[in-house]
Amino acid sequence: MARFIFITGGVVSSLGKGLMAASLAALLQARGYKVRIRKFDPYLNVDPGTMSPYQHGEVYVTDDGAETDLDLGHYERFTGVAARQSDNVTSGRVYRDIIERERRGDYLGATVQVIPHVTDAIKQFALADVDDLDFVLCEIGGTVGDIESLPFMEAIRQLRNELEPLQTLSVHVTLVPFIAAAGELKTKPTQHSVRELAALGIKPDLLLCRSEHPIPDSERNKIAQFCNVRAEAVIPALDAPSIYSVPLQYHEEGLDREVLRAFGISDAPDPDLSRWHDVTDRFFNPEGEVTIGVVGKYVGLQDAYKSLNEALIHGGLANKVRVNIRWLDAEMFEQGEEDLAAKLEPMHGILVPGGFGERGSEGKISSVRFARERGVPFFGICLGMQMACIEAARLAGHAAASSTEFGATEEPVVGIITEWMSEEGLQKREEGGDLGGTMRLGAYEAKLAGNSHVHSIYGSDSISERHRHRYEVNNAYREPMESTGLSFSGMSPDGLLPEIVERPEHPWFVGVQFHPELKSKPFDPHPLFADFIAAAVRQSRLV
């Protein structure tokens, strides 16, 4: 029987519900339980696929091709459990499905309403595919009191009544601010937030209280008294020096113990937290450091590259070094070579990540050229690989080489893909069609050349990696690009779509069409990132 943990937040956003859910799941997993985490997002977009990174951070992609909330990245990184399309639902998706059913006549003439139709759809989502699980953690996006989240709150209330006793648990994440002028912590925001939740029919069983300062026992007792919970169920959540120390911190505060107690579980095995101790030891006790320059478009908001940021840290963990990331706006490299050299010469590695649109593209191409000419380790991801191919084509004499993503071009080294093969068969897209959900999304296989650098990194002839892109490198330009020393070391199984390029004579130069950062974990760093940081370590010894 699966047990359900519903996680809500109050007072303000960005309290860390996603990180809390991931950490709690990791602690339960460390005790031998099978877990899965789901995210309920109240916004009306069907998914975040068409949203600007500045609006919502990165779009996380699952193996089965879902474009999801970035919190699913936390879930995967902390548990190693691959997220699925069914693990993220939005109000937009719920309403779209209900309206489609209404148009088909599935409701047999009934009046379609929020209750029961919308709440029933939410409950079906929460209860789907849980037979083999011990715990299902469901995070509700937004804050208590938001108009958008009311149907989700109502669905939770109903589930808590409909499921068996001791089968559900409510965890409320709230804020205990420190007022500097008064020199004291304030519990009133937490009290009001719990009261707001109770007004919706949901009594929290545990309170996770975010604070910048330790919460004295007197204040914990006060919160417990006013919020109708046990004092032990008021769990302090202090700011942590690293997100990877959060599971250990929550365990020390008794979070997993109190969760099991609330479910009436007294015979749980002790947790094996050895891998988290190893991760934190590597993070806080590095044997060196390297500096990586990330030349991107959305560098003003690091959440736009959340998985990339974490994957670079994981590469550092694999090599026992600290990775200092310098976020560099690609547009500033379009002003002149002096700016380019001044910013990139101190770097031990250069990474050009994915992105959309023409802005900053010439700066990214200049960064590729700098890395190639100076022998600096280079890693191109998605658009970054395409920029490396355009740079190679220009080096081969195709001065007008560009991408059709940036407009009409005489030399379309990169062009829009309108059909490709997947496990479901031939996929087709119209060039002027909808943007949402129409890219090559999810896991696709690639075949690796046996004598290539990437083959030695992966140790395999075939790999599966996650994609999210609409444009592909044009195979018609392969020969001139290869004449410059660029090797096509990874191809789609049918040999039509370039997946990986590299420069064998370069210290480390790899471009990939997919997003390896989406599969990296602190206790299992992605091999490409581990090898890239190893190359950066070697570069650091040369400068």
Which residue ranges make up each domain of the chain?
A: 3-278, 287-416+470-540
Q: Do 170 and 8 form a contact (C-beta atoms < 8 A)? A: yes
Q: Do 381 and 350 form a contact (C-beta atoms < 8 A)? A: no
CATH of domain 287-416+470-540: 3.40.50.880
pLDDT of residue 339: 73
Nearest Cα neighbor of 61 from 498, 470, 465 is 465
Q: Terminus-to-terminus CA distance in the chain, angstroms? A: 58
Catalytic residues: 382, 515, 517
Judged by phi (left if over 0) then psi (alpha if -120 to 50, else beta), residue 264 lies in left
Dihedral sign, CA of 108, 111, 114, 115?
negative
pLDDT of residue 221: 95
Asked whether this chain's domains 3-278 and 287-416+470-540 adopt the same fold, the reply is yes
**Would you state the structure tokens that stand for residue 361, as one six-digit string?**
């593209």
Peptide bond preceding 353: is omega within 30 degrees of 0, i.e. cis?
no
pLDDT of residue 52: 74
293 phi and psi angles, rounded to 5 deg:
-95, 120
Residue 184: which residues within 8 A CB-CB, separation 6 or more? 178
What are the CA-CA distances from residue 125 to residues 4, 136, 301, 398 (Å)? 13, 12, 31, 52
Residue 290's SS3 state is: strand
Q: What is the pTM of this model?
A: 0.92
Does CATH number 3.40.50.300 belong to domain 3-278?
Answer: yes
d(CA 43, CA 59): 15
d(CA 470, CA 174): 40
**What are the residue ranges of helices labelled H in 10-149?**
17-30, 53-56, 71-79, 91-104, 119-127
pLDDT of residue 428: 53
pLDDT of residue 429: 55
Nearest Cα neighbor of 253 from 315, 199, 302, 211 is 211
pLDDT tens, per residue, the chain with 543 residues: 899 999 999 888 888 899 999 999 999 999 999 999 999 999 998 888 778 776 777 899 999 999 998 999 999 999 999 999 999 999 999 999 999 999 999 989 899 999 999 999 999 999 999 989 999 999 999 999 899 999 999 999 999 999 998 999 999 999 999 888 888 899 999 999 999 999 999 999 999 999 999 999 999 999 999 999 999 999 999 999 999 999 999 999 999 999 999 999 999 999 999 999 999 999 999 999 999 999 988 776 777 889 999 999 999 999 999 999 999 988 887 766 667 888 899 999 999 998 777 677 888 999 999 999 999 999 999 999 999 999 999 999 999 888 888 888 888 888 876 554 555 555 555 555 544 446 789 999 999 999 999 999 999 999 999 999 888 999 889 999 999 999 999 999 989 899 999 999 999 999 999 999 999 999 999 999 999 999 999 998 876
Q: Do 306 and 58 form a contact (C-beta atoms < 8 A)? A: yes
Strands of the sheet containing 88-90, edge to edge, are 88-90, 35-41, 135-140, 3-9, 168-175, 206-211, 234-238
- What number of residues does the chain have? 543
pLDDT of residue 50: 78
pLDDT of residue 420: 45
Burial class of residue 490 in the structure, from the number of CB atoms within 10 Å of its CB (0-12 exposed, 13-18 middle, 19+ buried): buried
Strands 60-61 and 67-68: antiparallel
- Cα angle 190, 193, 194 (rounded to 5 degrees) comes to 85
**Would you state the structure tokens that stand for residue 274, as one six-digit string?**
């050895």
Residue type, 441: L
Give, to the nearest 10 degrees, the angle between helix 188-199 and helix 217-227: 20
Q: Do 61 and 73 form a contact (C-beta atoms < 8 A)? A: no
What are the CA-CA distances from residue 534 to residues 294, 318, 369, 372, 381 (Å)? 17, 9, 21, 18, 18
Residue 418: which residues within 8 A CB-CB, separation 6 or more? 428, 429, 430, 431
Nearest Cα neighbor of 215 from 171, 184, 255 is 184
**Would you state the structure tokens that stand for residue 398, as one six-digit string?**
């195709």
pLDDT of residue 253: 95
d(CA 401, CA 332): 21
